[in-house]
Amino acid sequence: MVTRFYGTLKQWQNLLAGLAVLLFLAVLFLSFLPSYDVGYNTLQAPSRSHWLGTNDIGQDVLTGILTALPNTVLVAVLASLMALFLAIVMAANAAIAKGWVAALILRLVDILHIIPSILVLLLFAAWIQPGFLGMILLIGLTSWHDDVRVLRALILRERTRENVAFARQMGAGWGYCLWRHILPSVWPAITGLFVQHIRQSTMKVAGLGFLGLTDPRLVTWGSMMQDALDYLHMSAALWLLLPPGLCLCLFLLLALALGRRLERYSLAEERDLS
């Protein structure tokens, strides 16, 4: 059983390593892209020189989509990792600690559930107009509380297992038990929550850009769609609005397919363990 748990943890590490390599290659590829500068050919239809046309200030739409790729996807992934890390830390302390520490964490989570996180996100985004790092911090800090109670219930279940009780009798601390026994056993649920966070964070990044609440210099698929709203009555909307919208839909579908694949893998692991 422990071997299978470590296998699940290894799959998650491989997934993160593969994701890091892909993001590194994407950033390396973007470094060779032409600059996203203004030009004189405004609202030009797709052609050989501009495959997806140009916008109202002469910027190439294809270059803009590729430039917005890390600003949308990388922000969503890093914000999801931050939110999930905070949720795991809070849930572990709420499940293992006793007395006022656990009560304080649970009351804080209850308060954050009462206040709509999307409202807090919009208010702070309108106030500071975050850039790349600001978006990561803002989305991560307003999303972690959603998973605390779920993870706490899973940790409470796993802390009663025989392997955890035996490790405690041998003198192991809760930190050791959490890292070597509890987290590997709940890792399938953590991967599912991570993929769910990626979908939600991507929509938040695109939504803030679409509403114009981010740094104007930060190009995202949402901000590109927002720039196309003034031309909905023109044929230019076909190459200004559809390409970033399709890229956003395709990435969300990819994340959904990844989540379903991880869910099937987790169910197969549970059947093997039973």
- Split into its structural domains, the chain has a count of 1
Instruction: Residue 263: give its domain's CATH number.
Output: 1.10.3720.10
- Structure confidence by residue, pLDDT tens digits, 87-108: 999 999 998 887 788 889 999 9
pLDDT > 50? residue 252: yes
More confident residue, 112 or 24: 112
Average of per-residue pLDDT values in the chain = 84
pTM for this structure?
0.86
Residue 166, in any domain of the structure: yes
CB 138 within 8 A of CB 130: yes
pLDDT at 10: 62
Is residue 46 in some structural domain?
no
b or e along 36-74 (b: 16 or more beta carbons within 10 Å of the residue's beta carbon)?
Answer: eeeeeeebbeeeeebebbbbeeebbbbbbbbbbbbbbbb
What integer pLDDT is reported at residue 1 of this predicted model?
46
250 and 163 in contact (C-beta within 8 Å)? Answer: no
- The answer to whether residue 157 sits within a structural domain is yes
* pLDDT at residue number 2: 47
In a domain, 44, yes or no: no
pLDDT band for 39, please (50, 70, 90 cuts).
confident
Q: Is 74 within the bounds of a domain? A: yes
Please measure the distance between the N-terminal and C-terminal CA atoms of the chain and give it in whole angstroms. Answer: 10
Q: What is the pLDDT of residues 42-60, one digit of tens each?
A: 888 888 888 898 998 888 9
Rounded CA gap, 226 and 206, in Å? 10
pLDDT value for 84: 92
pLDDT band at 189 (very low <50, low <70, confident <90, very high): confident
Residue 226: burial class (beta carbons within 10 Å; 0-12, 13-18, 19+): buried
Query: Is residue 242 in some structural domain?
Result: yes
Q: What DSSP line would sit under 256-269, residue for residue?
A: HHHHHHHHHHHHHH
In a domain, 40, yes or no: no
Has residue 74 got a pLDDT over 90?
no
Least confident interval from 79-88, 145-154, 177-186, 261-270: 261-270
- Could you tell me if residue 119 is inside a domain? yes
pLDDT confidence bin for 4, thresholds 50/70/90: very low
Domain range enclosing 80: 2-31+52-273
Q: How confident is the model at residue 80 (pLDDT cuts 50, 70, 90)?
A: very high
pLDDT surpasses 80 at 225: yes
Judged by phi (left if over 0) then psi (alpha if -120 to 50, else beta), residue 219 lies in beta
What is the Cα–Cα distance from 238 to 249, expressed in whole angstroms?
Answer: 16
pLDDT the model gives residue 261: 80
